[in-house]
Structure 1
């Protein structure tokens, strides 16, 4: 079991699954969500529309996760999760922790051995990076400890800059 952090482009990561910091519509957006949709190609949007027309008619709830194939990405799966939006008063750390735990639950259902996460809710959703890093690392470390023989075995945080990387490195060292 391993947890690591690196600066990089999540759309270029070779992992069994990458996690999309999606919005509740599942139909694409800005930031990580927009980049993943653009890199995965139009079939990702079609798959998300199918989810909206079947199992997630009202959209995906904050803190929940669901998977689609990754299509043109190097990963096999995209796990979509909706982080809490601090600007909308969604300030419960349990909702943010749920994003990471539910994503790992979905990864386990897919038998994904490796999962790459962005800093969910740290961008446009306004959560302080140190809080996101602490909650993410603590949640993932706890999940991995509860599932020592299962999948996934590798969690990577793929972030966009040194400031975010440093916060995750601090959280990894402290947790």
Structure 2
């Protein structure tokens, strides 16, 4: 819906004429008419005045015209599971071990949420210089580990080891596929 038509509907809903809106806002009735016919784009200041006259939220009008970004609901953001991996010798990437969800950080929207999971750091053997107890670590599933990267190795859905790669590139694959 165009902003002009919406503003006209609001005016009529409030049983106001353009003359009455002019008196309330100080905006000329001819300019209001131009806005309602989508001949002029109202400024943020004009929208604030009209919102007050029409007893509506200025933010809604500002969003409608594009002066403010639209608000996304919590569920429109991509979420990844946070797994509880307190017991490292048992399968951990299973639904019973999900303790919550985390939003996918900005910049990673182009990836599928299936490529990521998160864990909460719960003990000292999981910490390092930049990772402390209580932190949520977001992990990308991959077969290669770059030099200097920290990797959590999982075989058959069990954590095998946490390593820091010291070689240029490490490849991990199932032995059945690579003799």
TM-score range, shorter chain: under 0.3
Normalising by structure 1, we get a TM-score of 0.25
Larger relative contact order, structure 1 or 2 (CA cutoff 8 Å, min sep 6):
1
- Counting helix residues as a fraction of each chain, which structure ranks higher? 1
Structure having the higher Rg? 2
TM-score (norm 2): 0.25
